[in-house]
Amino acid sequence: MKNIILIIAFSILTFSITNAQSFENKVLAKVGTENVTYGRLEAAFQKNMSGEKKKLYELDKDSLHQFLNLFIDYRLKVKDAIDRGYDKEPEVAKEIQQNNQLLTESFYYDKKVFKPVIDKLMDRRQYYIKFAYVLFPYTQEAEGQTQSDPRDLAQSVLDSIMSKKITFAEAAKNHAKEKTLADNGGVVERYLISGTIQKPIEEALFTISVNQIYPTLLETSYGYFLLKLVEKQPRKQVLVSHILISNKQEQLSDVEHKKADSLLKLLRKGASFEKLAELNSEDHASAINGGSLGDYYDLATGFVKTHSFLDMNFIEAFMKLKDGEISDTIHTSYGIHIIKRLDSKNPDREIDEKDIKEYYKKSGYDDDKKEYYENFVRTNGLNIEKESMNSILSNVNYTKTNLDSNWAAEIPNDKLNDKLFSFQMKTWTIGDFVNLLSDKSKTEYRATALNREGIQGAFYKIVKPQVINMWQAELEKEDPEFRNLLNEFHDGILLFKVEAIEVWDKLQLDTAMALDYFKTSGKKFLTNEKYDISEIFVIQDSLAQSLYKRAKAGEDFSELAAKFTVRQGYRELSGYQGELDAFDNKFSRQLKGEEIKEGTIIAPKVYQSGYTILKINKIIKPREKNFEEAIPDLAPAVQQLKQRKLVNNWLKDVKVKHKVEIFEKTINEIYASKSK
């Protein structure tokens, strides 16, 4: 039986991989001259699945036809929009261009910057590392003075380490500012993984081997780092159990030590760890689970679910074990432990990848994009004329921005025609640049600093449209996924415009159609059941109870309400609330669970800032609505009918120009292969 199941499963898998691939280019339909292949329809189907894992061939034949017809209608609408020349209209063309630029920039950065870095960081996340460092920080000499640069001292110490005059540990002892680091040879006690270390430090550490010292000073905003890689090991998450022996005193007595030794001997002889943990462990939370801590532990991030950390002695003990092995007695601040390593596994790649992506987006991605962009511009022909650049810098106030309306007043007129910079065969003069930065409508250049860095930054912004065009051409040539996305954005904009004209703008409620639907649909539109309700609302509980008893005893409810209710505006109405929906009204919570009959008086209930006593004067049963009353109920169905009618009439004419053919033979071949 098991073999039969395996054969069936293998057959399904074989179909899903081989047959689906073989049908990829099979033409299921034609819309005019455009082929609708199985692969193209599958791609459209997957975009409409919203994450649900289902393939097109898993649909029954009727459902496949339904989806194919929807896709054909979509293509007909787009073709009609093109026939009408909507894609050439300036407003639509501008929207398409803007969408292309946004898509190109996002897709290009994702491909050239984001994905390569994520792949690199994910490769690094396969390892734990430990490292040592010595920091030579910048120091503030006195208030208002610049920082002193400790570079010479740092370099001197590094040279002494590299020439083996001193060890790294000695350097840490002599120069580390933190006592813990000084005493520990500069070693950071925690295990770390990629994405939890400052970027420049991580980049340096992953270029050296264990026990190797980074050969140059690493300058950061804090100062100069000397780095040494102390440990690097494959990353595993570990599940452990333990037995804890402790007492409430600060010092453990011989009793606890003897008990721990006795339990260890029993375990060495084959006793059940789970049973001994259950009966003896002082960690009651894990004892009920046979000593299991219940969650995998990661040396760098702690427990997978809670991210809390264990004692370092405890960690070092179970890391020395293999799965299934039991430790000797281990001492921590909690007491004496006996540890069993239950299982090891690789970290969940999806969780790691999500974490890495969030980390990179927050710390580094924007800087990397900027660096990539500027490098691309430089290497693809940005040429800045030094003399012209100096002409600008010497005639503007470098402490100001172009928000100053007279920022360029001192630039000589005879310099305005001088070439300032060029990129990809296009040249800008000083005059062109002045005009751009003086144009208040160009908000992208607003508040440009008038120093060298600010002006060069403006150059990079000016050439961005050219760069985006270069990227788009490259992606269209090399990346089918990008081409498809570009086409989808293009067609989506056209679809929105043509559907608005042919359907949505005409979709007002047709009263004649609605009346016909009301009379011929066979549906009954009923009013909701209603309660005719009166209320007495008071602040004091004791008064509410007294009034309830008086009403139950037969006193007139309206007279009591007229005399005692404190709800504003209702005393003159004798507490009358009117006809309220039986299931959706302001007293629904107070009526819940009550047996409702005409004349029922509901005992006082807490309501708002007081107490309410309700009387059901009358129950109004559902009745059939007239046409006017039924309009809100039938409007959605009528609108849907009208929408369908508008679309059918529209596409009927489009199909005359763009003939539709569905190849049933090909569709039957797919289902014939599926049934084999």
Looking at the structure, tell me whether residues 135 and 219 fall in a common domain.
yes
Is the residue at 628 inside a domain?
no
- From 462, 491, 512, the end of a domain falls on 462
- From 404, 438, 462, the end of a domain falls on 462
Q: How far apart are CA 648 and CA 71, in angstroms?
A: 14
- How far is CA 100 from its chain centroid? 23
What distances in angstroms separate CA 455 from CA 393, 423, 447, 450, one per listed residue?
9, 15, 11, 6
Looking at the structure, tell me whether residues 305 and 320 fall in a common domain.
yes
Q: What is the 3-state secondary structure (H, E, C) of 395-443?
A: CCCCCCECCCCCCCCCCCHHHCCCEEEEECCEEEEHHHHHHHHHCCCCH
Torsion of CA 558, 564, 566, 571, to 10 degrees: 40
Read off the tokens for 354.
Answer: 């999500």
Is the residue at 248 inside a domain?
yes
Phi, then psi, of 304 in degrees rounded to 5: -60, -40
- Give how many domains the chain has, as a whole number: 4
| CATH code for position 305 | 3.10.50.40
pLDDT band of residue 10 (cuts 50, 70, 90) is very low
Is the residue at 356 inside a domain?
no
Instruction: Please write the tens of the pLDDT for every residue from 546-555.
Output: 999 999 999 9
**140: pLDDT strictly greater than 70:** no
Instruction: Please write the tens of the pLDDT for every residue from 171-205.
Output: 999 999 999 999 999 999 899 999 889 999 999 99
Looking at the structure, tell me whether residues 207 and 272 fall in a common domain.
no
Is the residue at 485 inside a domain?
no
Read off the tokens for 86.
Answer: 């909507």
Spatial CA neighbour of 551 closest among 567, 539, 538: 538
**What local confidence, expressed as pLDDT, does residue 675 receive?**
62
CB 127 within 8 A of CB 120: no
Is the residue at 658 inside a domain?
no
Token pair 């009966």: residue: 279
C-alpha radius of gyration, the chain, whole number: 39
CB 403 within 8 A of CB 446: yes
C-beta neighbour count of 338 within 10 angstroms: 26
Instruction: Please write the tens of the pLDDT for every residue from 417-447.
Output: 999 999 999 999 999 999 999 999 999 999 9
Is the residue at 339 inside a domain?
yes
Terminal-residue alpha carbon distance, the chain: 20
3-state secondary structure of 103: helix
Structural domain boundaries enclosing 538: 530-620
Q: What is the mean pLDDT of the chain?
A: 92
Buried b (16+ CB within 10 A) or exposed e, 601-640: ebebbebeebbbbbbbbeeeeeeebeeeebbeebeeebbe
Q: What is the pTM of this model?
A: 0.76
- From 234, 260, 290, the end of a domain falls on 234
Spatial CA neighbour of 604 closest among 531, 538, 558, 534: 538
**14: pLDDT strictly greater than 70:** no
Looking at the structure, tell me whether residues 260 and 272 fall in a common domain.
yes
Q: How far apart are CA 128 and CA 122, in angstroms?
A: 12
